[in-house]
Structure 1
Amino acid sequence: MDTALPAPARKSRRKLVLSLIALAGVCAGVGGIAGYLALQSNSVQYAVGDCVKFDASSDISEQDCDDATNSQYRIVARGSVAVVPEAPCMKYQNATRTAVDPTDTKTVLCLAPTQYNSTDPGALHPHDCVEAKNEGETITRTSCLTFSNNTHRVVGTELRPRVPVTDQACRTHPTARGAYAQASLGGRAIVVCVVPVDPKEIGNVQVGDCTDATLARLVECKTPDAKLRALAVRTVYQRPARPECLGVPGATAVSVRSGNKTDLVFVSCWGPVPENRPIYAHAGDCLAFPASAPTALATRVDCSDPAADRNVLARVDSTNRDDCPGAATSGITWDDIPAGPLTICLSRR
């Protein structure tokens, strides 16, 4: 007996139509959102991340951020124009300038210098080299192969409240030998901490180095040009009073370097190159005085040397020989020197 198989159940055409409509709606929604976002992205000019250039009239124009010639600043934030135009951007430490959005005068753009900006100190990084002119009025990034008195290597930068900087410029960069400061956004200061590029420049001196009589450049200590030897170098935050090298025995010369926009002062104290000069003598040493020669040409010698004809009794921080011990028969005095007044008290052997 033949048995008919039951007919398959028919799918509801109504449900199928509704499903297709719902799927089409979802696709349309996603496409609409994507289209809206793309439209917004393409339509916003001067957006965060875009780059701009200032022209001679201080007007800005958008530039390709990879354009090494024209990409000067990158937009790091957008804010509403305030009574003080720079106020919305002060919370961004890397912002150094502002500009009003040319397409929306109610919006201020916060700008940070790009890597291609060679004149804004906010773009500088350690190991960059700069040429500074007019006490740092202009600071321009340059080649590190350029040697001149105005060329420096950057050891770091700092952000300070104002110019002049009076709160220990470059204190976070103790290797700095000089500091320049420029006014930036809102009057705050960008401090550029530097050392000279030229290794022979006097600002690169270390204890034991030598210079000529002009204190202009470092020279080899064994050459005839070597007249002075560095006894001490230090960074301070105010120009030292005279005597500038008090407490540095033997200092007969001093170099003091500072600027007019920061409080960093680099001081180097110098004395004669030969270590046998009398100014380095201490109690217990012996001196030899050449016949018919100035006292200044006396030399320190071993006390067993037959030429030794004076005993050093004391060093006295005074030019008054009456301050010497009673056994003293003579003395050598230095008055107006950076180490302060000094008398080497002597007796005959």
Structure 2
Amino acid sequence: MFRLQSGLPWELPADPMNGSGWTGLDQSNWQQVVKPTAIEDDHSQFAIVHSRFKYMYDVQKRISADAQITWLPRRYLDGDPPPWPGATLRHGTLVWDLVDSSSWDIETSFGGDVFNGLDRARTIIGGNGFNSGEETIPDPTFPPEYSEPGYRGTIARAPGIVLRDGDRTGIKTSSFKWKPATDVGFVVGGHSAYGVNEAISAAVNMAGDLVAAALFVPPVGGAIDAILKPLYTDTLFAYMKQHDPVRAGRLGWSHLHETLCEGSDRAYTISALLALRAGWWRTREQSTHQLKVVDGYEGLRIGQYGHGNAYLGTRIGTTVKDWGVPGVIYVDRITEITISWDRKTTPIFDLTVGHRDEEDPIVKGLEMIQEVAAIARELGML
């Protein structure tokens, strides 16, 4: 954004130490800006971000999904409070804000029931960076904001909206899908870790040369290595596997075993660990609740923070009529919002809570094309 909107070429000024040369730092006329966040207020998970002229969508897609953070774009109009203290923006500027409305790793709710309320818990990630579980918070505090008259918003650590499905409620129609967890073992790799093939090659060369020296013949280590290289290349430490014992215990004696995780072809690297986490996330237990609901039902107010208490990324609870254990509340994030109305129908919101199941093959095909295009752009083919 700085490169496109600053008016400067992508190069340093003639005198970088002279502040007047940096004329593009004024954002008052920019079309789009990113809302800054204080480092001490950020508790999102660490991730490795790498980009060389990639589209921002390609860079952040998997990272945002794994960290459960949401991009919220909003137009700044004259008369609105400034997006951050001291902000001077032009009327109509698009402000991008990266929001953590999940609080899954600090304190939030993942479910409960109508009899005892919502349980408060947080997600704990093991020391290996892979295994995780939920830790219940026995004596949680209640946010004081909910007691303020006219307060609009949802505190991530204590979701306050529960939509109950029934014959006489504000839910017009609903569709619930549940998918159990699948595999308990996760495999990644294909190529040996860095240094393994090189160490074997060096050992073969050294052994061949030592034998040749003992027999007083010319060195033959290189020739032996050339013959043996196809046999040992990418054979040792070429794959790595992680096991989820908690999921295996929940699924019981008969369950699926392994899945090959995509996204990394070299074992024992940071990218391999990220691929394992992505494979675990892809095969987790998933629930999707699609609702047609009237705004205002059960305290529901669709809108961004300050204007409503439910928006993209917000955790809300829902119940399912005539399914499973009576009274169970499923808590998950809102992943899609669609509004529809006409002259004879009041506005109806279509909410998708939980996993957004993109069954349309065209959508899947477009995503695959986007990934291939991203790779091609990085290689300089596009």
Fold agreement, TM-score > 0.5 = no
TM-score by length of 1: 0.23
Task: Please state which structure has a larger fraction of its residues in helix.
Answer: 2
What TM-score, normalized by structure 2, do the two folds share? Answer: 0.21
Q: Which has the larger radius of gyration?
A: 1
Q: Which structure ranks higher in relative contact order (CA pairs < 8 Å, sequence separation ≥ 6)? A: 2
